[in-house]
């Protein structure tokens, strides 16, 4: 069973424009099939591949790397080590970003706790002294390797 570009767009959450762009840029595994009238027809295999491409792009893989990975897959067996290298390098970049974002989230959580504590203290005792202003600064970033994800 095949689907139109509108149906493929709905299934993938992408726009028809983005699907055509992915095709033009060589990010799809195969050329998209065409109906007798020349309209694009997407298969379940196309949709599964587009889902992978979307995930790679959403995690920051550059178009040129996605294209390189797609080229290798299209070439078939014999280049699995190179494909693995691409995916491992990308995974490392994603993990590094996750560590950085987790550190930022920790700082935000500390600020939320500080203000929650202040507001709760005000409700309990309106005459309680306020904490020093220097507590409003974000804490210094954690040294590399201190994050619990490592």
CA angle centred on 72, ends 69 and 76, rounded to 5° = 140
pTM beyond cutoff 0.75 = no
Question: Mind listing the pLDDT tens digit for each residue in 109-145?
Answer: 999 999 999 999 887 765 666 666 655 666 666 565 5
Whether 99 and 150 have beta carbons less than 8 Å apart is answered as: yes
Domain count within the chain: 2
In a domain, 149, yes or no: no
Whether 65 and 90 have beta carbons less than 8 Å apart is answered as: yes
CA distance 97 to 14: 24
Token output for 15: 């726009």
Token output for 150: 């490592």
Whether 104 and 139 have beta carbons less than 8 Å apart is answered as: no
108 and 53 together in one domain:
no
- Structural domain harbouring 42: 5-76
In a domain, 82, yes or no: no
Neighbours of 47 (CB within 10 A): 14
Q: Please name which of 130, 126, 122, 61 lies closest in space to residue 97, comparing C-alpha atoms.
A: 61
Question: Mind listing the pLDDT tens digit for each residue in 78-119?
Answer: 999 999 999 999 999 999 999 999 999 999 999 999 999 999
16 and 63 together in one domain:
yes
């Amino acid at each position: 069973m095949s689907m139109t570009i509108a149906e493929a767009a709905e299934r993938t959450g992408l726009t028809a424009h983005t699907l055509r762009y992915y095709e033009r840029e060589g990010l799809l595994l195969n050329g998209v099939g065409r109906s007798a009238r020349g309209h694009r027809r997407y298969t379940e295999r196309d949709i599964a591949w587009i889902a992978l491409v979307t995930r790679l792009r959403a995690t920051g893989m550059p178009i040129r790397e996605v294209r390189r990975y797609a080229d290798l897959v299209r070439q078939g067996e014999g280049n699995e080590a190179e494909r693995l290298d691409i995916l491992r390098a990308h995974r490392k970049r994603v993990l590094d970003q996750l560590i950085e974002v987790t550190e930022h989230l920790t700082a935000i959580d500390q600020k939320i706790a500080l203000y929650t504590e202040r507001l709760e203290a005000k409700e309990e005792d309106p005459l309680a002294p306020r904490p020093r202003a220097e507590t409003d600064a974000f804490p210094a970033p954690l040294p590399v390797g201190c994050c619990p994800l490592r």
